[in-house]
Amino acid sequence: MATGIYVGATAGYSGKNMVVMGLALRLQKEGVNVGYMKPVGAVPVEQDGRLGDEDALFVNKVLGLGEQDPSLLTPVVVTHDFKVRAFSGECEDLMPRIEAAYSTLSASRDAMIVGGSGSMFSGRYCDLDAVAIVKKLGLKAIVIDRLDKEINYDQLVVLGDLLGDSLAGVILNDIPPNFTNEVESLVRPFLERSGVKVLGVIPRDPLMGAIRVGDLAERLGGKVVSAHAKAEKVVENFLIGTMQVENFMTHFRKNKNSAIIVGGDRSDVQLVALEGNCPCLVLTGNLYPNDIILTRSEVLNIPIIVVRDDTYTVAKKMEAILVRHKLRDVIKIKQGAQIVSTNIDFDYVRGVMGV
């Protein structure tokens, strides 16, 4: 019987679903009958009166695995009530439920990919952390570390100690070009000397953090007020237009695919951004654009979003949105699968799984 692979991470929003789908789609393409589950879910959703996890149901659909019982796909779904009971000392032993679901779903499969939730230590309060699940189900773990200022090398080494032979290796994700050399010359050799195999280094890809203008307006609690037909445009980054026009133009030329966050009263910066063909304008302070700006927006097909918050608050929200935006668009799924397939040691993973 093939060994299942658990895909976990050092923190939430690290690319677990991207790696799960990338691995599974490639295995399917190579003729392997792949199964999938997510033992613990943190995004509760009801389907046909049964509680499931939104991410797990989405991944299952992308992989074309057919209608699955949500309670099999995600045997434990963390709700607010669940946490209250757990913290009050009423946490039942839920591992047998996970074991039974894994046994059922893996019975007719050549290989299983098991998706993690949060970090490798999430769920420890109820003895449902990834380390415990990996050991109980006899899985091999792949741990993703997404660059956030630096690599979490200490945590990766600690996970190597905790998991031992159960750690198949780690994937370093979202590595910008200016950090690649340091990763390859210092971080990778250090980890491998410490007994932690680096399965791949995934470069930063602007598309993976991109978001459609319409979705962005919704997430910022604002609304699109012009060029509505272009709300499908994609935003990869953002630039704050609080500076003088001359300084703004210098920065803008280097950040062409950036949404421009600017006060609703700064029509000078707004006009420069529109004429420079930015993907969209985000006007703060609940101030609507004047007629000249609105007209140019419609003529140039560049949408404008109006939001209530001040510029600083919007910028902080925007930063979080671009980091945490879900992998939902077909173009992103294809791109993500390609990135995973190209940048990890796929033959080694297949060898570990025995398929």
- DSSP assignment string, 38-83: -SEESSEEEETTEEEEHHHHHHHHHTT-----HHHH-SEE--HHHH
Backbone phi and psi for residue 227, each to the nearest 5 degrees, phi listed first: 50, 45
Beta carbons within 8 Å of 327's beta carbon, 6+ residues apart = 17, 18, 21, 208, 333, 336
**DSSP-H helix ranges across 91-139:** 95-106, 130-137
State residue 273's pLDDT score: 85
211-324: CATH architecture:
3-Layer(aba) Sandwich (3.40)
Burial environment of residue 138 by CB neighbours within 10 A (0 to 12, 13 to 18, 19 or more): exposed
Domain borders along the chain are: 5-205+326-353, 211-324
Element (H, E) at 350: helix 346-353
250 has a pLDDT exceeding 80: no
Mean of the per-residue pLDDT values of the chain: 89
Distance CA 72, CA 60 (A): 12
Give the mean pLDDT of 99-118. 94
Give the mean pLDDT of 81-90. 90
State residue 241's pLDDT score: 79
Distance CA 311, CA 284 (A): 6
Lowest-confidence region among 115-119, 138-142, 260-264, 301-305: 260-264
Lowest-confidence region among 30-39, 79-88, 145-154, 200-209: 200-209
Compute CA 175 distance to the chain's CA centroid, rounded to the nearest angstrom: 14
State residue 239's pLDDT score: 80
329 has a pLDDT exceeding 70: no
State residue 237's pLDDT score: 81
Lowest-confidence region among 19-28, 61-70, 171-180, 200-209: 200-209
State residue 59's pLDDT score: 92
- Three-state secondary structure call for residue 5: strand
pTM, full prediction: 0.81
Give the mean pLDDT of 254-259. 73
296 phi-psi bin (left φ>0, alpha ψ -120 to 50, beta other): alpha
2 has a pLDDT exceeding 90: no
Distance CA 237, CA 224 (A): 18
Lowest-confidence region among 188-202, 215-229, 255-269: 255-269
State residue 114's pLDDT score: 98
What CATH topology corresponds to 5-205+326-353?
Answer: Rossmann fold (3.40.50)
